[in-house]
Amino acid sequence: MMYHTQMEAAKAGVITEAMEIVAKKERMEPEKLRELVAKGWVAIPANINHKSLSPEGIGTGMRTKINVNLGISGDCKDYDAEMEKVKMSIRYGAEAIMDLSNYGKTNTFRKKLIEMSPAMIGTVPMYDAIGYLEKDLLEIKAEDFLKVVEAHAKEGVDFMTIHAGINRRCVEALKRDKRTMNIVSRGGSLLFAWMEMTGNENPFYEHFDEVLDILYKYDVTVSLGDALRPGCIDDSSDAGQISELIELGALTKRAWDRNVQVMIEGPGHMAINEIAANMQLEKRICHNAPFYVLGPVVTDIFPGYDHITAAIGGAIAASSGADFLCYVTPAEHLRLPDVNDVREGIMATKIAAHAADIAKGIPGAREQDDLMAQARHKLDWEEMFKIAADGEKARRYFESVPPQDRHSCSMCGKMCAVRTTNMILEGKKVTFCSEK
């Protein structure tokens, strides 16, 4: 029997090739992973048409994964520059890349991306609808949106952000409980505008079963988007955000019943003291579906440094239950990120993910850290550079002000604490004035 999706196979007791690969990466027994996929607690986004994919698991017991957002805009339409960002993202170990292009005929870039990328590819069909259909927002019909979903699925996209939760009930909650920033989700704002101008229900909510039919056909994971995510810390955990989360929980069960894998998207901007509770709330309301968070950004006054504000929130979120972190770059809120911004965003998010994995006791998470400690104990710089997540940068910093003695660095020199202690424990004398 042919199983269209990873979840369908898992429910039937079948361990797929993708499950075998993920289990090996995660140091988990394949049967245990199969059980988690069958329950929906782990998603393996793997479109049947993405032939270059190296599958990854997202969810309970898995390493925290990171996503990089890329794409063409009307103001920045340099396809070569975006492809350089893609190559960098893969080189630095991002497990997922979202193509958020919203200008022109985006499928040329997307097809090339899917053809060469071992990372999971995600999209937001709502972004592409206007350019793909060549219609103004008011002219687009419900069936038109489904055409874009089908086109992305057929091309090989592994997961799609579908803002199906912002229905009329959620809009009423939003209007009743006024916000400082209103709606900051691009896709959510477009759907809200379409609903208000046409008087119709959200087409992705109204026709959710038809969306699921498309996703099932190609084994695309639905990433249920948080159209009402908070865009400032003043709006976090409000009625709009929580009412949409309740709708996403109901949609999760509907998707699982149709053997479509699910991820839930979350905030956003949020003060540190609210993060852990929000992670637990999502896991409870959405039946332990994998949680995919943007940040959270923990303070609103550091534009230019939001890779740091987001990494702080991401580390807390992931250690409290989030499974998938969307990177944030220094350019967030300011402009389309350049290659350097992408690098900084990736590394900040990887720090958050890795720190959380250590806290959660993920198998093997501490191994590299322990090796680094051993290399530092020996003051073995070459070994340190080899172990470091970004050894190239570490070497560049070390060699920019080279020490006189390679057994230390230029900060402490011969007064290096490690050197001093090692010498004493080896029975040697420590002297400074007489040393040449």
- Domain ranges across the chain: 6-360, 367-425
How far CA 240 is from CA of 199, 267, 284, in Å, comes to 19, 12, 18
**Is the bond into 330 cis (omega within 30 degrees of 0)?**
no
| Domain at 6-360, CATH from 3.40.50.2300, 3.20.20.60, 3.20.20.540, 3.90.1170.30 | 3.20.20.540
pLDDT at 129: 81
Return the DSSP state at 65.
E
pLDDT at 411: 86
Ligand-binding annotation for 226, yes or no, is yes
Q: Identify the CA nearest to 308 among candidates 348, 279, 354, 265.
A: 348
Ligand-binding annotation for 152, yes or no, is no
Q: Identify the CA nearest to 347 among candidates 119, 89, 97, 100.
A: 89
Give yes or no for residue 228 having a pLDDT over 90.
yes
Ligand-binding annotation for 237, yes or no, is no
Residues 329-387: pLDDT tens digits?
999 999 989 999 999 999 999 999 999 999 999 999 999 999 999 999 999 999 999 99
pLDDT at 434: 62
By DSSP bridging, strand 42-43 and strand 58-59 are antiparallel
Ligand-binding annotation for 333, yes or no, is yes
Sign of the alpha-carbon dihedral angle for 81, 85, 91, 95 = negative
Which pLDDT band, with edges at 50, 70 and 90, does 224 fall under?
very high
Contact residues for 78 (Cβ-Cβ < 8 A; gap 6+): 72
Sign of the alpha-carbon dihedral angle for 273, 275, 279, 285 = positive
Each as own residue / partner, the long-range contacts of residues 75-83 (CB below 8 Å, 24 or more positions apart, any chain) are 75/336, 76/336, 77/103, 77/104, 79/108, 79/109, 81/338, 81/339, 82/109, 83/109, 83/112, 83/113
Structure tokens belonging to residue 157: 């996209």
By DSSP bridging, strand 65-70 and strand 58-59 are unpaired
Q: Where are the alpha helices (DSSP H) in 106-238?
A: 107-116, 125-133, 142-155, 168-176, 186-198, 203-206, 208-218
Q: Would you report the helix, strand and coil content of the chain in percent, each value rounded to 5?
A: 50, 10, 40
Q: What is the mean pLDDT of residues 212-235?
A: 98
Ligand-binding annotation for 185, yes or no, is yes
Q: Identify the CA nearest to 55 among candidates 94, 15, 85, 95.
A: 95
Give yes or no for residue 31 having a pLDDT over 80.
yes
Ligand-binding annotation for 412, yes or no, is yes
pLDDT at 160: 98
For the chain, first and last CA: distance in Å?
A: 77
Ligand-binding annotation for 390, yes or no, is no
Q: What is the mean pLDDT of residues 398-421?
A: 86
Check residues 409 and 218 and name the one with the higher pLDDT: 218
Find out whether 129 and 186 touch, Cβ atoms under 8 Å: no
Ligand-binding annotation for 331, yes or no, is no
Q: What whole-number distance in Å separates Cα of residue 203 and Cα of residue 197?
A: 13
pLDDT at 102: 62
pLDDT at 409: 84
Give yes or no for residue 436 having a pLDDT over 60.
no
Ligand-binding annotation for 163, yes or no, is yes
Q: Identify the CA nearest to 166 among candidates 145, 140, 194, 127.
A: 194
Rama region for 45: left / alpha / beta (φ>0; ψ in -120 to 50; rest): beta
Q: Identify the CA nearest to 316 among candidates 283, 271, 381, 375.
A: 271
Ligand-binding annotation for 69, yes or no, is yes
Contact residues for 36 (Cβ-Cβ < 8 A; gap 6+): 42, 57, 59, 60, 61
Find out whether 225 and 185 touch, Cβ atoms under 8 Å: yes
Residues 40-55: pLDDT tens digits?
999 999 999 999 999 9
Instruction: Report phi then psi at 96, rounded to 5.
Output: -145, 150
pLDDT at 238: 95
Which pLDDT band, with edges at 50, 70 and 90, does 403 fall under?
confident
Which pLDDT band, with edges at 50, 70 and 90, does 413 fall under?
confident
Taking only Cα atoms into account, the Rg of the chain, rounded to an integer number of angstroms, comes to: 24
Contact residues for 222 (Cβ-Cβ < 8 A; gap 6+): 159, 160, 162, 164, 211, 212, 215, 255, 260, 261, 262, 263
Burial code of 147-167, b = ≥16 C-beta within 10 A, e = fewer?
Answer: bbbbbbbebbbbbbbbbbbbb
How far CA 271 is from CA of 177, 279, 317, 356, 370, in Å, comes to 19, 13, 11, 18, 32
Ligand-binding annotation for 88, yes or no, is no
Residues 57-90: pLDDT tens digits?
999 999 999 999 997 665 556 778 888 999 999 9
Count each helix (H run) and each strand (E run) in the chain, helices first: 19, 10
Please work out, in degrees rounded to the nearest 5, the angle formed at the alpha carbon of residue 321 by the alpha carbons of 320 and 323: 130
Ligand-binding annotation for 229, yes or no, is yes
How far CA 167 is from CA of 47, 284, 292, in Å, comes to 28, 21, 21
Ligand-binding annotation for 186, yes or no, is yes
Ligand-binding annotation for 327, yes or no, is no
Q: Which range, of 98-107, 149-158, 395-404, averages the lowest pLDDT?
A: 98-107
Sign of the alpha-carbon dihedral angle for 29, 35, 39, 45 = positive
